[in-house]
Amino acid sequence: MQFDSDLAAIRFGCGLSPRVAAPTSVTEMLTRLQGPDEMARRFPIASLEEASATVPEYRRLNRQRRQAEDAAAQSEAEQAFKALRRKNVQDRLRWHGQRLLRQVNTRDGLRERLTLFWADHFTAQGKSPATRMLAAPYAESVIRPHLTGRFEEMLIAVVTSPLMLHYLDQNRSTGPGSPAAKQRKGRDGLNENLAREVLELHTLGVDGPYSQTDVRELAELFTGLGLTRDNQFVFRPRMAEPGAETVLGQSYGGGRARLEQVLEALRDLARHPATARHIAWKLAVHFTADKPDPDLVEQLAARYQSTDGDLLAVYQALLEHPAAWAPKLANVKPPFDYVASACRALGLNEDQIAGLRPGQQRRLFLTPLTPMGQRWGFSNGPDGWPEEDSAWITPAALAARLRWALAAPRQLTEPLPDPRQFAATALGHFADARVQFAAGAAETRAEAIGLVLSAPAFQRR
Protein backbone atom coordinates (compact mmCIF):
# COMPACT_ATOMS: atom_id res chain seq x y z
CA MET A 1 0.00 0.00 0.00
CA GLN A 2 1.27 3.46 -0.93
CA PHE A 3 -0.33 6.23 1.12
CA ASP A 4 -1.57 9.22 -0.87
CA SER A 5 -2.36 12.34 1.15
CA ASP A 6 -4.59 13.95 -1.48
CA LEU A 7 -6.50 10.71 -2.03
CA ALA A 8 -6.90 10.22 1.73
CA ALA A 9 -8.60 13.60 2.03
CA ILE A 10 -10.83 13.06 -1.00
CA ARG A 11 -11.78 9.38 -0.72
CA PHE A 12 -11.81 8.86 3.05
CA GLY A 13 -12.42 12.41 4.21
CA CYS A 14 -14.40 15.50 3.31
CA GLY A 15 -12.13 16.84 0.57
CA LEU A 16 -9.10 19.06 0.25
CA SER A 17 -9.01 22.49 1.86
CA PRO A 18 -6.71 25.52 1.76
CA ARG A 19 -7.23 25.95 5.51
CA VAL A 20 -6.98 22.35 6.80
CA ALA A 21 -4.01 20.11 6.07
CA ALA A 22 -4.66 16.73 4.48
CA PRO A 23 -3.80 13.59 6.50
CA THR A 24 -0.20 12.46 6.39
CA SER A 25 -0.67 8.77 7.24
CA VAL A 26 -3.15 6.03 8.03
CA THR A 27 -1.94 6.17 11.62
CA GLU A 28 -2.90 9.84 11.85
CA MET A 29 -6.37 9.12 10.43
CA LEU A 30 -7.04 6.31 12.92
CA THR A 31 -5.58 8.27 15.84
CA ARG A 32 -7.84 11.23 15.17
CA LEU A 33 -10.82 8.91 14.81
CA GLN A 34 -10.15 7.55 18.31
CA GLY A 35 -9.44 10.97 19.81
CA PRO A 36 -11.71 13.76 21.07
CA ASP A 37 -14.67 14.63 18.88
CA GLU A 38 -13.60 18.20 18.21
CA MET A 39 -16.32 18.98 15.66
CA ALA A 40 -19.17 17.80 17.91
CA ARG A 41 -17.89 20.10 20.62
CA ARG A 42 -17.38 23.05 18.28
CA PHE A 43 -20.61 22.64 16.27
CA PRO A 44 -23.09 20.97 18.63
CA ILE A 45 -26.30 19.20 17.63
CA ALA A 46 -29.00 18.37 20.16
CA SER A 47 -29.15 14.85 21.55
CA LEU A 48 -32.05 12.64 20.55
CA GLU A 49 -33.39 12.76 24.10
CA GLU A 50 -33.31 16.55 24.13
CA ALA A 51 -34.86 16.92 20.69
CA SER A 52 -37.52 14.28 21.40
CA ALA A 53 -38.73 16.27 24.38
CA THR A 54 -40.59 18.53 21.94
CA VAL A 55 -42.64 15.62 20.52
CA PRO A 56 -45.20 15.27 23.34
CA GLU A 57 -45.39 19.07 23.60
CA TYR A 58 -46.10 19.31 19.86
CA ARG A 59 -48.89 16.77 20.16
CA ARG A 60 -50.32 18.45 23.26
CA LEU A 61 -50.45 21.88 21.61
CA ASN A 62 -51.91 20.43 18.42
CA ARG A 63 -54.64 18.72 20.42
CA GLN A 64 -55.23 21.83 22.50
CA ARG A 65 -55.76 24.09 19.48
CA ARG A 66 -58.24 21.62 17.98
CA GLN A 67 -60.19 21.24 21.22
CA ALA A 68 -60.27 24.88 22.32
CA GLU A 69 -63.71 25.88 23.57
CA ASP A 70 -63.68 29.55 22.55
CA ALA A 71 -61.98 31.84 20.05
CA ALA A 72 -59.54 33.36 22.55
CA ALA A 73 -58.29 29.99 23.77
CA GLN A 74 -58.03 28.72 20.22
CA SER A 75 -55.99 31.76 19.15
CA GLU A 76 -53.62 31.40 22.09
CA ALA A 77 -53.15 27.67 21.43
CA GLU A 78 -52.69 28.29 17.71
CA GLN A 79 -49.92 30.81 18.34
CA ALA A 80 -48.13 28.49 20.75
CA PHE A 81 -48.39 25.61 18.29
CA LYS A 82 -47.08 27.68 15.38
CA ALA A 83 -44.17 28.94 17.51
CA LEU A 84 -43.10 25.38 18.35
CA ARG A 85 -43.51 24.26 14.74
CA ARG A 86 -41.40 27.23 13.59
CA LYS A 87 -38.73 26.35 16.17
CA ASN A 88 -38.61 22.76 14.91
CA VAL A 89 -38.07 23.95 11.34
CA GLN A 90 -35.35 26.35 12.48
CA ASP A 91 -33.66 23.61 14.53
CA ARG A 92 -33.61 21.25 11.54
CA LEU A 93 -32.00 23.94 9.39
CA ARG A 94 -29.48 24.81 12.11
CA TRP A 95 -28.47 21.17 12.62
CA HIS A 96 -28.00 20.78 8.89
CA GLY A 97 -25.73 23.83 9.02
CA GLN A 98 -23.76 22.34 11.91
CA ARG A 99 -23.18 19.13 9.94
CA LEU A 100 -22.00 21.20 7.00
CA LEU A 101 -19.63 23.19 9.22
CA ARG A 102 -18.19 19.96 10.58
CA GLN A 103 -17.39 18.71 7.09
CA VAL A 104 -15.88 22.03 6.07
CA ASN A 105 -13.67 22.47 9.12
CA THR A 106 -12.72 18.99 10.32
CA ARG A 107 -9.22 17.55 10.51
CA ASP A 108 -10.94 14.20 11.12
CA GLY A 109 -12.82 13.68 7.88
CA LEU A 110 -13.09 9.92 8.32
CA ARG A 111 -15.27 10.45 11.41
CA GLU A 112 -17.72 12.62 9.48
CA ARG A 113 -17.85 10.18 6.60
CA LEU A 114 -18.45 7.22 8.89
CA THR A 115 -21.22 9.08 10.71
CA LEU A 116 -23.05 9.61 7.42
CA PHE A 117 -22.38 6.02 6.31
CA TRP A 118 -23.74 4.38 9.46
CA ALA A 119 -26.67 6.81 9.81
CA ASP A 120 -27.62 5.76 6.28
CA HIS A 121 -27.06 2.05 6.95
CA PHE A 122 -29.38 2.38 9.95
CA THR A 123 -31.79 4.81 8.33
CA ALA A 124 -34.46 6.16 10.66
CA GLN A 125 -36.57 9.26 10.19
CA GLY A 126 -39.66 10.89 11.57
CA LYS A 127 -42.94 10.06 9.86
CA SER A 128 -45.07 12.71 11.52
CA PRO A 129 -44.77 16.51 11.71
CA ALA A 130 -43.75 16.19 15.36
CA THR A 131 -40.76 13.94 14.57
CA ARG A 132 -39.49 15.12 11.18
CA MET A 133 -36.51 17.01 12.58
CA LEU A 134 -35.09 14.08 14.62
CA ALA A 135 -32.74 12.52 12.02
CA ALA A 136 -29.73 14.66 12.97
CA PRO A 137 -30.14 14.15 16.75
CA TYR A 138 -30.56 10.41 16.07
CA ALA A 139 -27.21 10.29 14.29
CA GLU A 140 -25.66 12.37 17.05
CA SER A 141 -26.81 10.15 19.94
CA VAL A 142 -27.22 6.69 18.44
CA ILE A 143 -24.58 6.51 15.70
CA ARG A 144 -21.71 8.87 16.43
CA PRO A 145 -20.74 7.55 19.91
CA HIS A 146 -20.37 3.99 18.55
CA LEU A 147 -18.24 4.58 15.43
CA THR A 148 -15.16 2.86 16.81
CA GLY A 149 -16.77 0.26 19.09
CA ARG A 150 -18.15 -3.15 18.24
CA PHE A 151 -20.89 -3.37 15.67
CA GLU A 152 -23.21 -5.06 18.15
CA GLU A 153 -23.09 -2.00 20.41
CA MET A 154 -24.28 0.24 17.58
CA LEU A 155 -26.91 -2.31 16.56
CA ILE A 156 -28.35 -2.46 20.07
CA ALA A 157 -28.37 1.34 20.34
CA VAL A 158 -30.24 1.53 17.02
CA VAL A 159 -32.86 -1.13 17.79
CA THR A 160 -33.66 0.44 21.15
CA SER A 161 -33.69 3.97 19.72
CA PRO A 162 -37.04 5.79 19.99
CA LEU A 163 -36.75 7.07 16.43
CA MET A 164 -36.16 3.61 14.95
CA LEU A 165 -39.05 2.16 16.94
CA HIS A 166 -41.26 4.96 15.65
CA TYR A 167 -40.02 4.74 12.06
CA LEU A 168 -40.59 0.99 11.70
CA ASP A 169 -43.87 0.94 13.68
CA GLN A 170 -42.50 -1.21 16.48
CA ASN A 171 -44.14 0.74 19.27
CA ARG A 172 -47.55 -0.95 18.93
CA SER A 173 -46.32 -4.42 17.91
CA THR A 174 -47.99 -6.89 20.27
CA GLY A 175 -47.35 -10.56 20.85
CA PRO A 176 -50.47 -12.52 19.73
CA GLY A 177 -50.48 -14.49 22.97
CA SER A 178 -49.45 -11.65 25.26
CA PRO A 179 -51.57 -10.30 28.14
CA ALA A 180 -51.87 -6.98 26.27
CA ALA A 181 -53.29 -8.72 23.17
CA LYS A 182 -55.93 -10.47 25.24
CA GLN A 183 -56.91 -7.24 26.92
CA ARG A 184 -57.03 -5.26 23.66
CA LYS A 185 -58.91 -8.04 21.85
CA GLY A 186 -56.93 -7.88 18.62
CA ARG A 187 -56.81 -4.11 18.18
CA ASP A 188 -53.02 -4.26 17.87
CA GLY A 189 -51.14 -7.09 16.20
CA LEU A 190 -47.65 -8.30 15.45
CA ASN A 191 -45.57 -5.96 13.27
CA GLU A 192 -42.64 -7.49 11.38
CA ASN A 193 -41.08 -4.29 10.01
CA LEU A 194 -38.23 -3.95 12.51
CA ALA A 195 -37.38 -7.64 12.50
CA ARG A 196 -37.30 -7.78 8.70
CA GLU A 197 -35.06 -4.72 8.37
CA VAL A 198 -32.70 -5.90 11.11
CA LEU A 199 -32.17 -9.15 9.21
CA GLU A 200 -32.30 -7.86 5.64
CA LEU A 201 -30.64 -4.45 5.90
CA HIS A 202 -28.82 -4.12 9.20
CA THR A 203 -27.14 -7.50 9.71
CA LEU A 204 -27.31 -10.57 7.42
CA GLY A 205 -28.14 -8.79 4.16
CA VAL A 206 -30.89 -9.33 1.60
CA ASP A 207 -29.32 -12.63 0.52
CA GLY A 208 -28.62 -13.74 4.09
CA PRO A 209 -29.42 -17.20 5.48
CA TYR A 210 -32.81 -16.42 7.01
CA SER A 211 -36.39 -17.33 6.20
CA GLN A 212 -39.81 -15.81 6.72
CA THR A 213 -40.10 -17.99 9.81
CA ASP A 214 -36.98 -16.30 11.23
CA VAL A 215 -38.52 -12.90 10.52
CA ARG A 216 -41.69 -13.79 12.39
CA GLU A 217 -39.88 -15.37 15.33
CA LEU A 218 -37.61 -12.34 15.66
CA ALA A 219 -40.64 -10.05 15.42
CA GLU A 220 -42.24 -11.97 18.28
CA LEU A 221 -39.03 -11.65 20.28
CA PHE A 222 -39.06 -7.89 19.63
CA THR A 223 -42.57 -7.44 21.05
CA GLY A 224 -42.13 -5.51 24.25
CA LEU A 225 -39.82 -2.93 22.66
CA GLY A 226 -41.75 0.31 22.78
CA LEU A 227 -42.02 3.96 23.72
CA THR A 228 -43.34 5.85 26.69
CA ARG A 229 -45.79 8.71 26.27
CA ASP A 230 -42.89 11.17 26.39
CA ASN A 231 -41.17 9.33 23.49
CA GLN A 232 -38.53 7.44 25.47
CA PHE A 233 -37.56 3.78 25.08
CA VAL A 234 -39.23 1.25 27.37
CA PHE A 235 -39.49 -2.55 27.50
CA ARG A 236 -43.05 -3.68 28.24
CA PRO A 237 -43.29 -7.38 29.26
CA ARG A 238 -47.10 -7.34 29.00
CA MET A 239 -46.85 -6.81 25.23
CA ALA A 240 -44.18 -9.48 24.71
CA GLU A 241 -45.05 -12.83 23.17
CA PRO A 242 -44.78 -15.58 25.84
CA GLY A 243 -42.38 -18.47 25.38
CA ALA A 244 -39.13 -18.98 23.50
CA GLU A 245 -38.48 -17.85 19.91
CA THR A 246 -36.11 -19.57 17.49
CA VAL A 247 -34.03 -17.40 15.14
CA LEU A 248 -31.47 -19.03 12.81
CA GLY A 249 -31.77 -22.23 14.84
CA GLN A 250 -31.00 -20.55 18.16
CA SER A 251 -33.61 -20.34 20.94
CA TYR A 252 -34.16 -17.09 22.84
CA GLY A 253 -36.45 -16.27 25.70
CA GLY A 254 -38.76 -18.48 27.69
CA GLY A 255 -39.95 -17.66 31.17
CA ARG A 256 -40.57 -14.03 32.00
CA ALA A 257 -39.99 -11.69 29.08
CA ARG A 258 -36.85 -9.61 29.55
CA LEU A 259 -34.93 -7.09 27.44
CA GLU A 260 -31.74 -9.13 27.79
CA GLN A 261 -33.29 -11.90 25.66
CA VAL A 262 -33.64 -9.43 22.79
CA LEU A 263 -30.10 -8.12 23.26
CA GLU A 264 -28.70 -11.65 23.21
CA ALA A 265 -30.27 -12.24 19.80
CA LEU A 266 -28.91 -8.95 18.48
CA ARG A 267 -25.39 -9.83 19.65
CA ASP A 268 -25.57 -13.18 17.89
CA LEU A 269 -26.81 -11.56 14.68
CA ALA A 270 -24.02 -9.00 14.86
CA ARG A 271 -21.39 -11.76 15.11
CA HIS A 272 -22.81 -13.93 12.32
CA PRO A 273 -20.47 -14.58 9.35
CA ALA A 274 -23.15 -13.32 6.95
CA THR A 275 -23.22 -10.02 8.83
CA ALA A 276 -19.44 -9.77 8.52
CA ARG A 277 -19.68 -10.21 4.75
CA HIS A 278 -22.60 -7.79 4.42
CA ILE A 279 -20.89 -5.01 6.40
CA ALA A 280 -17.59 -5.62 4.60
CA TRP A 281 -19.25 -5.34 1.21
CA LYS A 282 -21.13 -2.15 2.12
CA LEU A 283 -18.00 -0.43 3.47
CA ALA A 284 -15.99 -1.45 0.41
CA VAL A 285 -18.68 -0.14 -1.95
CA HIS A 286 -19.08 3.12 -0.06
CA PHE A 287 -15.39 3.95 0.10
CA THR A 288 -14.03 2.44 -3.12
CA ALA A 289 -16.34 1.46 -6.00
CA ASP A 290 -19.74 0.08 -6.92
CA LYS A 291 -18.00 -3.20 -7.74
CA PRO A 292 -15.29 -3.43 -5.08
CA ASP A 293 -12.21 -5.61 -5.21
CA PRO A 294 -13.26 -9.09 -3.94
CA ASP A 295 -10.02 -9.46 -1.98
CA LEU A 296 -10.73 -6.20 -0.17
CA VAL A 297 -14.20 -7.42 0.82
CA GLU A 298 -12.75 -10.72 2.03
CA GLN A 299 -10.11 -8.95 4.11
CA LEU A 300 -12.70 -6.71 5.76
CA ALA A 301 -15.00 -9.66 6.48
CA ALA A 302 -12.13 -11.69 7.92
CA ARG A 303 -11.03 -8.82 10.18
CA TYR A 304 -14.64 -8.31 11.29
CA GLN A 305 -15.01 -11.99 12.24
CA SER A 306 -11.63 -12.30 13.95
CA THR A 307 -12.38 -9.29 16.18
CA ASP A 308 -16.10 -9.97 16.82
CA GLY A 309 -17.08 -6.90 14.87
CA ASP A 310 -14.51 -4.42 16.18
CA LEU A 311 -15.22 -1.55 13.79
CA LEU A 312 -11.92 0.25 14.37
CA ALA A 313 -10.07 -2.91 13.34
CA VAL A 314 -12.24 -3.16 10.22
CA TYR A 315 -11.47 0.45 9.27
CA GLN A 316 -7.78 -0.28 9.74
CA ALA A 317 -8.07 -3.27 7.41
CA LEU A 318 -9.78 -1.04 4.85
CA LEU A 319 -7.06 1.60 4.97
CA GLU A 320 -4.27 -0.99 4.81
CA HIS A 321 -5.49 -2.73 1.66
CA PRO A 322 -3.95 -1.67 -1.69
CA ALA A 323 -7.35 -1.70 -3.45
CA ALA A 324 -8.52 1.11 -1.18
CA TRP A 325 -5.82 3.31 -2.69
CA ALA A 326 -6.55 2.67 -6.37
CA PRO A 327 -5.60 6.00 -7.98
CA LYS A 328 -8.70 6.34 -10.17
CA LEU A 329 -11.45 8.43 -8.54
CA ALA A 330 -14.51 6.20 -8.83
CA ASN A 331 -17.52 6.86 -6.61
CA VAL A 332 -19.72 9.87 -7.27
CA LYS A 333 -20.17 12.11 -4.24
CA PRO A 334 -23.78 12.25 -3.01
CA PRO A 335 -25.22 15.79 -3.08
CA PHE A 336 -24.53 16.74 0.55
CA ASP A 337 -20.94 15.51 0.32
CA TYR A 338 -20.55 17.35 -2.97
CA VAL A 339 -21.77 20.69 -1.60
CA ALA A 340 -19.76 20.28 1.61
CA SER A 341 -16.55 19.43 -0.25
CA ALA A 342 -17.07 22.46 -2.51
CA CYS A 343 -17.43 24.74 0.51
CA ARG A 344 -14.34 23.12 2.00
CA ALA A 345 -12.34 23.63 -1.21
CA LEU A 346 -13.38 27.29 -1.28
CA GLY A 347 -11.90 27.67 2.20
CA LEU A 348 -15.12 29.04 3.69
CA ASN A 349 -14.86 29.92 7.34
CA GLU A 350 -17.48 29.61 10.06
CA ASP A 351 -18.80 33.16 9.65
CA GLN A 352 -19.31 32.73 5.91
CA ILE A 353 -21.67 29.82 6.56
CA ALA A 354 -23.16 30.30 10.03
CA GLY A 355 -23.37 34.06 9.47
CA LEU A 356 -25.90 33.69 6.68
CA ARG A 357 -29.54 34.40 7.37
CA PRO A 358 -31.73 31.28 7.71
CA GLY A 359 -33.34 31.93 4.35
CA GLN A 360 -29.93 32.19 2.69
CA GLN A 361 -28.73 29.00 4.33
CA ARG A 362 -31.81 27.16 3.12
CA ARG A 363 -31.51 28.54 -0.41
CA LEU A 364 -27.77 27.86 -0.75
CA PHE A 365 -27.27 24.62 1.16
CA LEU A 366 -30.51 22.73 1.83
CA THR A 367 -32.98 23.36 -1.00
CA PRO A 368 -30.47 22.58 -3.82
CA LEU A 369 -29.98 19.03 -2.54
CA THR A 370 -33.46 17.94 -3.63
CA PRO A 371 -33.04 18.55 -7.38
CA MET A 372 -29.61 16.92 -7.06
CA GLY A 373 -31.48 13.80 -5.91
CA GLN A 374 -31.12 13.89 -2.13
CA ARG A 375 -33.96 15.38 -0.10
CA TRP A 376 -31.98 15.85 3.08
CA GLY A 377 -33.21 13.85 6.06
CA PHE A 378 -35.83 11.96 4.04
CA SER A 379 -34.52 8.98 2.08
CA ASN A 380 -36.96 6.90 0.06
CA GLY A 381 -37.08 4.00 2.52
CA PRO A 382 -35.29 2.11 5.31
CA ASP A 383 -32.57 1.02 2.88
CA GLY A 384 -31.30 4.61 2.83
CA TRP A 385 -29.67 6.46 -0.04
CA PRO A 386 -28.44 4.48 -3.04
CA GLU A 387 -24.72 3.77 -3.39
CA GLU A 388 -24.80 3.27 -7.17
CA ASP A 389 -23.19 6.10 -9.10
CA SER A 390 -26.05 6.02 -11.60
CA ALA A 391 -28.41 7.30 -8.90
CA TRP A 392 -26.50 10.61 -8.68
CA ILE A 393 -25.52 11.28 -12.31
CA THR A 394 -28.88 11.60 -14.00
CA PRO A 395 -29.22 14.53 -16.45
CA ALA A 396 -31.48 16.46 -14.08
CA ALA A 397 -29.19 15.92 -11.08
CA LEU A 398 -26.08 16.92 -13.01
CA ALA A 399 -27.82 20.06 -14.26
CA ALA A 400 -28.70 20.95 -10.66
CA ARG A 401 -25.06 20.52 -9.62
CA LEU A 402 -23.89 22.73 -12.46
CA ARG A 403 -26.41 25.45 -11.55
CA TRP A 404 -25.23 25.38 -7.94
CA ALA A 405 -21.54 25.37 -8.88
CA LEU A 406 -21.94 28.40 -11.13
CA ALA A 407 -24.12 30.44 -8.78
CA ALA A 408 -23.34 29.59 -5.15
CA PRO A 409 -19.58 30.26 -4.80
CA ARG A 410 -19.83 33.95 -5.73
CA GLN A 411 -22.61 34.35 -3.14
CA LEU A 412 -20.48 32.72 -0.46
CA THR A 413 -17.06 34.32 -0.82
CA GLU A 414 -15.61 37.47 -2.34
CA PRO A 415 -13.25 37.72 -4.06
CA LEU A 416 -13.30 34.28 -5.63
CA PRO A 417 -9.92 32.53 -5.69
CA ASP A 418 -7.71 32.39 -8.77
CA PRO A 419 -9.22 29.53 -10.83
CA ARG A 420 -5.94 27.74 -11.60
CA GLN A 421 -4.87 27.90 -8.00
CA PHE A 422 -8.34 26.80 -6.93
CA ALA A 423 -8.13 23.74 -9.17
CA ALA A 424 -4.89 22.72 -7.45
CA THR A 425 -6.35 23.44 -4.02
CA ALA A 426 -9.56 21.51 -4.66
CA LEU A 427 -8.04 18.48 -6.37
CA GLY A 428 -4.33 18.35 -5.56
CA HIS A 429 -2.54 16.14 -8.07
CA PHE A 430 -5.94 15.05 -9.45
CA ALA A 431 -6.24 18.44 -11.19
CA ASP A 432 -5.52 17.01 -14.63
CA ALA A 433 -4.94 18.90 -17.89
CA ARG A 434 -8.64 19.06 -18.69
CA VAL A 435 -9.46 20.68 -15.35
CA GLN A 436 -6.59 23.13 -15.68
CA PHE A 437 -7.70 24.02 -19.22
CA ALA A 438 -11.27 24.66 -18.06
CA ALA A 439 -10.00 26.80 -15.19
CA GLY A 440 -7.96 28.94 -17.56
CA ALA A 441 -10.30 29.14 -20.54
CA ALA A 442 -13.52 30.36 -18.90
CA GLU A 443 -14.60 33.94 -19.61
CA THR A 444 -15.17 34.89 -15.95
CA ARG A 445 -13.71 33.79 -12.65
CA ALA A 446 -17.14 32.62 -11.46
CA GLU A 447 -17.56 30.44 -14.52
CA ALA A 448 -14.08 28.99 -14.05
CA ILE A 449 -14.74 28.08 -10.41
CA GLY A 450 -18.07 26.54 -11.46
CA LEU A 451 -16.39 24.46 -14.16
CA VAL A 452 -13.81 23.12 -11.69
CA LEU A 453 -16.55 22.16 -9.24
CA SER A 454 -18.52 20.55 -12.08
CA ALA A 455 -15.57 18.53 -13.39
CA PRO A 456 -15.84 14.72 -13.08
CA ALA A 457 -12.60 14.76 -11.11
CA PHE A 458 -14.19 16.93 -8.41
CA GLN A 459 -17.52 15.09 -8.38
CA ARG A 460 -15.87 11.73 -7.70
CA ARG A 461 -13.74 10.37 -4.93
Distances (CA, A) of 73 to 69, 81, 87, 397: 7, 12, 21, 48
Q: Looking at per-residue confidence, does 94 or 71 come out higher?
A: 94
Residue 186, pLDDT > 70, answer no
Q: Cβ distance 210 to 199 under 8 Å?
A: yes
Q: Which residues make Cβ contacts (< 8 Å) with residue 71, sequence separation at least 6? A: none
Residue 105 confidence class, pLDDT cut points 50, 70, 90: very high
* CA trace torsion 427, 428, 429, 435 (10° rounding): 40
* Average pLDDT, integer, range 368-378: 94
CA separation for the pair 256, 197 (Å, rounded): 26
Q: Quick one: pLDDT band at residue 182, thresholds 50, 70, 90?
A: confident
Residue 188 is predicted with a pLDDT of 74
Show the 3-state SS of 351-382. Answer: HHHHCCCHHHHHHHHHHHHCCCCCCCCCCCCC
Instruction: Report the pLDDT averaged over residues 293-301.
Output: 98
Q: What is the number of other CB atoms lying within 10 angstroms of the CB of residue 125?
A: 20
Higher pLDDT pick, 182 / 126: 126
| pLDDT of 363 higher than 90 | yes
Is pLDDT larger for residue 186 or for residue 223? 223
Q: How confident is the model over 141-158, as a mean pLDDT?
A: 98
**pLDDT value of residue 380:** 87
How confident is residue 183, by pLDDT bands cut at 50, 70 and 90? confident
The Cα 142–Cα 163 span in angstroms is 10
pLDDT band per the 50, 70, 90 thresholds, residue 394: very high
pLDDT surpassing 70 at residue 7? yes
Mean pLDDT of 343-366: 96
Q: Tell me the average pLDDT across 359-384.
A: 95
| In the chain, where the domains are located | 166-270, 335-459
Percent of the chain residues topping a pLDDT of 90: 92
Distance CA 308, CA 250 (A): 18
The per-residue pLDDT for 185 is 66
